[in-house]
């Protein structure tokens, strides 16, 4: 296991794998807009189903 970056060091000196992990951890796993879209799509499907039956 590699030690953490000492204060004042350049992040470019990090290992490529560690850079990839830090880049991915900045983004949320699910976009809020995707979640809102799914909820709206479900609401539309329920509305259509209730109109048909």
Tens of pLDDT along 1-53? 556 666 666 656 666 666 666 666 666 778 889 999 999 999 999 999 999 98
d(C-alpha 38, C-alpha 53), whole Å = 22
d(CA 45, CA 52): 11
Whole-structure pTM value: 0.47
How distant, in Å, are the alpha carbons of 5, 47, 51 from that of 35? 36, 18, 25
Return the DSSP state at 32.
H
Element containing residue 38 per DSSP (H, E): helix 32-52
Identify the residue whose tokens are 């296991």. Answer: 1
């Amino acid at each position: 296991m590699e030690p953490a970056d000492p204060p004042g060091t350049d992040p470019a000196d990090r290992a490529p794998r560690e850079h990839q992990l830090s880049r991915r951890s900045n983004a949320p796993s699910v976009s809020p807009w995707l979640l809102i879209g799914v909820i709206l799509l479900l609401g539309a499907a329920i509305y259509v189903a209730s109109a048909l039956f």
